[in-house]
């Protein structure tokens, strides 16, 4: 049986890049096919049928036709445009950061259904009011790493394999987990992690989001968690995600 | 292309670099120029050279111009209390063609794009804010593109400009003339409903 000429899929649009005068190449994440790239023809013309249905941060139902190199988006219907995110400067920045992480960590045609669900959930959590958005980001980062096979080891020292004691331990990005104070001495620039921060990470690693959001995280602890996860992510990607610069610029705004 | 004379091959190669011109079109253009008169070729060369030599950015609005202040900024008849902010110089042309706008412009030279690491500091935002601070400006019309980058830029400008006591407005979004409702996307149609006007 051959591959059908036309197919349909749910998709969350991650990014667009210009292709020729009026076409664009879309990158999107799908539940059954993983990350895909496809051409959206004539999209820069006003009145294009695809128009607002394929902007980044949009959850759509897409019809695609097989092309020679890239497939072609023939129809698209928005299921959730995340308009709340698109009408708030901070929320949009958080959403774009999440999309950048998905884009940088995934390869094309690599199916990862739990990752798609996590992405969709995270965008919904951001859209809800009364949420601590820092928690959404940290929870997303932690579970993203988990779904990709980079789950950090938080219970035992990754070197000597002894259970960690309730003191300030250290996190090593290159080892992908915690080090006890003794083993960390030989490590190059390990990142110290307080007992409270480690407790929160352990809880978030194993609970669902509804439980995770109940945790009260004071600002100093929140900063510690943010720095740790971004350090680990930066190490894995071998670069700093670009949208972090924009998040920092926004924080500085009055 | 050893079978073609070197100057012809070079012309084809250079023309081929232009957007929308493939190897075939480049060949056609080259042979067209060869057949044409010397004056025609000279006029084209001079026009291209003048682009690079004489053109610079207006010191007020950063539109491309061949003098210190662009024609729009020099025009005393225009309303200098209204500034329309656009992403790139070519966005001014369609706005001028409408014939509806009599204010002045400000060109940002890009839009905020977190994914590409472009923030407000890479754009002409600081210059816009200093223009707004002289007290004569009453309205800033944000005419960035209605996409994620343009929207981020617009929201950022609103937050930066509004505290100065200046009205900030945004181009309305809705259905293009000649469109059909059945094919309109939900976002556009929703906004067309929200921003509907008395008829």
Beta carbons of B114 and A97 less than 8 Å apart: yes
- Kindly state the average pLDDT of the residues B71-99: 93
pLDDT at A50: 78
Kindly tell me if the per-residue pLDDT of A10 is higher than 90: yes
Considering only CA atoms, which of A137, A107, A119 is closest in space to residue A213? A137
Other beta carbons within 10 Å of A227: 13
Spatial contact of A28 and A22, defined as CB atoms under 8 Å apart: no
Cβ-based neighbours of B143, under 8 Å, separated by 6 or more:
B84, B85, B86, B91, B95, B171
DSSP letter for each residue of chain A: -PPPSEEEEEEEEEEEEEETTTEEEEEEEETTTEEEEEEETTTTSTT-SSGGGGSSS-EEEEEEE--SSSEEEEEEEEEE--HHHHT-HHHHHHHHHHHHHHHHH--BT---HHHHHHHHHHHHHHHSSS--HHHHHHHHHHHHHHHHT-PPB-SB-TTT-PBPPSS-EEEETTTTEEE-HHHHTTSSS-EEE-HHHHHHHHHHHHS-HHHHTTS---HHHHHHHHHHHHHHHHHHHTS--THHHHHHHHHH--
- Asked if residue A3 has pLDDT above 70, the reply is no
Chain A residues at the B interface, defined by Cβ less than 8 Å, are 15-16, 20-21, 46-47, 49-53, 55-57, 77-78, 81, 83, 86-89, 92-93, 96-97, 99-100, 103, 242-243, 245-247, 249, 253-254
Kind plus residue range of the DSSP H or E element containing B142: strand B139-142
> What is the CATH architecture assignment of A84-252?
Up-down Bundle (1.20)
> Terminal CA-to-CA distance of chain A, rounded, Å?
61
**pLDDT category of residue A1 using cuts at 50, 70 and 90:** very low
Contacts of A92 in chain B (CB under 8 A): 148, 151-152, 155
Distances, alpha carbon A88 to alpha carbons A24, A222, B116, in Å: 25, 22, 20
CA-nearest residue to A50 within chain B is B185
pTM for the full predicted model:
0.86
Cα B126 from chain centroid (whole Å): 19
Q: Do B186 and A57 touch (CB under 8 A)?
A: no
DSSP conformational letter for B68: S
Q: Give the pLDDT band (50/70/90) at residue A117.
A: very high
Q: What is the pLDDT of residue B139?
A: 94
- DSSP state at residue B196: -
User: Which residues in chain B are closer than 8 Å to A239, comparing Cβ atoms?
Assistant: none
- Positive/negative CA dihedral, B92, B98, B100, B102: positive
Q: Model confidence over A165-205: pLDDT tens digits?
A: 899 999 999 888 999 888 888 877 778 899 999 999 999 99
CB contact under 8 A, B114 and A246: yes
Position B117 scores a pLDDT of: 86
ipTM: 0.84
A-to-B residue pairs, Cβ atoms closer than 8 angstroms: 80
Q: pLDDT tens digit string along A119-152?
A: 999 999 999 877 788 999 999 999 999 999 999 9
Chain B positions touching A18 (Cβ under 8 A) are none
* Whether A21 and B176 lie within 8 Å, measured CB to CB: no
Is the pLDDT reported for residue A234 higher than 90? Answer: yes
Q: Which of A52, A99, A243 sits opposite B185 (nearest CB)?
A: A52
Confidence of residue B172 (pLDDT cuts 50, 70, 90): confident
Instruction: Extract the tokens encoding A45.
Output: 């013309």
All domains of chain B in start order, with CATH: 1-39 (1.10.8.420), 77-170 (3.40.1360.10)
> Average of pLDDT values for A222-227?
92
pLDDT at B1: 52
Residues 6+ apart with CB under 8 A from B75: none
Cross-strand pairs, A39:
A25, A72
CA atoms within 13 A on the CB side of A115: 25
Residues of B in Cβ contact (< 8 Å) with A55: 147-148, 187
**Residue B51, H or E segment:** helix B38-54
Say which CATH class A6-81 falls into.
mainly beta
pLDDT at residue A253, as a whole number: 79
Q: Where are the domains of chain A?
A: 6-81, 84-252
Question: Which chain B residues have a beta carbon less than 8 Å from that of A103?
Answer: 115
B 104-123 near A (Cβ less than 8 A)? 112, 114-117, 119-121
The pLDDT-based confidence of B169 (bands split at 50, 70, 90) is very high
For β-strands A177-179 and A169-172, DSSP reports them as antiparallel
Host H or E run for residue B80: strand B79-86
Question: Considering chain B, what is the average pLDDT of its residues?
Answer: 90
- Short-list B56, B68, B77, B60, CA closest to B132: B60
How near does any CA of chain B get to the CA of A56, in Å? 7
CB A43 within 8 A of CB A54: yes
> Smallest Cβ distance to B176: which of A46, A242, A243?
A46
Name the band, by pLDDT with cuts 50, 70 and 90, for residue A230: very high
pLDDT in tens, B108-121: 999 999 888 898 88
For the packed helices A195-206 and A133-148, what is the interaxial angle rounded to 10 degrees?
70
> Is the CB of residue B88 less than 8 Å from the CB of residue B110?
yes
Please report where in the chains the tokens 């300030």 appear, as a residue.
A168
Mutate which: B88, B90, B115, B163, vs A, most A CBs within 10 A: B115
pLDDT band at A2 (very low <50, low <70, confident <90, very high): low
d(CA B184, CA B191): 11
Looking at the DSSP bridge assignments, the partners of residue A170 are A179, A192
Side-chain-side CA neighbours of residue A11 (13 Å): 28
DSSP 3-state of B28: helix
| Burial of A221 from C-beta contacts in 10 A (0-12 / 13-18 / 19+) | middle
Using one digit for the tens of pLDDT, what is the confidence trace for B32-64? Answer: 999 999 999 999 999 999 888 888 899 999 999
Under the banding of pLDDT at 50, 70 and 90, the label for residue A14 is very high
pLDDT above 90 coverage of chain A, percent: 59
């Amino acid at each position: 049986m051959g591959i059908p000429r036309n197919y349909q899929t749910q998709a969350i649009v991650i990014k667009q890049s210009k292709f020729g005068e009026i076409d664009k190449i879309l990158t999107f994440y799908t539940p059954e096919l993983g990350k895909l790239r496809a051409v959206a023809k004539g999209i820069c013309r006003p009145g294009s049928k695809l128009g607002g249905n394929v902007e980044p941060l949009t959850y759509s139902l897409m019809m695609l036709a097989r092309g020679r190199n890239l497939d072609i988006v023939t129809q698209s219907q928005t299921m959730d445009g995340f308009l709340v995110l698109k009408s708030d400067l901070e929320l949009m920045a958080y959403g774009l950061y999440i999309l950048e992480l998905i884009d940088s960590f995934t390869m094309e045609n690599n199916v990862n259904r739990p990752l798609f669900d996590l992405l969709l959930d995270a965008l919904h959590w951001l859209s809800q009011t009364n949420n601590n958005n820092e928690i959404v980001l940290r929870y997303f980062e932690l579970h993203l790493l988990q779904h990709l096979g980079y789950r950090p080891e938080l219970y035992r020292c990754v070197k000597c394999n002894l259970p960690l004691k309730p003191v300030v331990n250290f996190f090593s990005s290159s080892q992908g987990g915690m080090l006890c104070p003794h083993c960390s001495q030989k490590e190059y620039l390990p990142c110290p992690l307080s007992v409270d921060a480690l407790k929160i990470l352990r809880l978030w690693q194993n609970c669902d989001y509804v439980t995770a959001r109940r945790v009260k995280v004071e600002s100093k602890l929140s900063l510690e968690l943010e720095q740790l996860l971004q350090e680990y992510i930066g190490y894995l990607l071998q670069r700093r995600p670009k949208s972090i610069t924009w998040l920092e610029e926004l924080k500085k705004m009055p | 292309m050893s079978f073609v004379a070197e100057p012809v091959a070079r012309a084809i190669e250079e023309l081929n670099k232009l957007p929308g011109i493939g190897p075939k079109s480049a060949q056609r253009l080259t042979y067209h120029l060869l057949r044409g008169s010397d004056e025609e070729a000279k006029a084209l060369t001079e026009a291209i050279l003048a682009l690079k030599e004489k053109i610079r950015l207006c010191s007020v609005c950063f539109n491309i111009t061949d003098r210190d202040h662009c024609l729009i900024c020099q025009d005393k008849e225009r309303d200098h209390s209204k500034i329309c902010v656009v992403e790139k110089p070519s966005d001014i042309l369609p706005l001028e063609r409408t014939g509806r706008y009599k204010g002045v412009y400000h060109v940002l030279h890009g839009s905020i794009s977190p994914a590409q690491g472009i923030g407000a500091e890479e754009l002409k935002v600081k210059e816009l804010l200093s223009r707004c601070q002289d007290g004569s400006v009453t309205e800033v019309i944000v005419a960035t593109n209605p996409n994620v980058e343009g929207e981020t830029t617009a929201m950022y400008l609103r937050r930066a400009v509004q505290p100065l006591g200046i009205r900030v407005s945004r181009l309305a979004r809705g259905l293009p003339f000649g469109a059909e409702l059945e094919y309109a996307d939900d976002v556009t149609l929703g906004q067309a409903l929200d921003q509907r006007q008395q008829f």
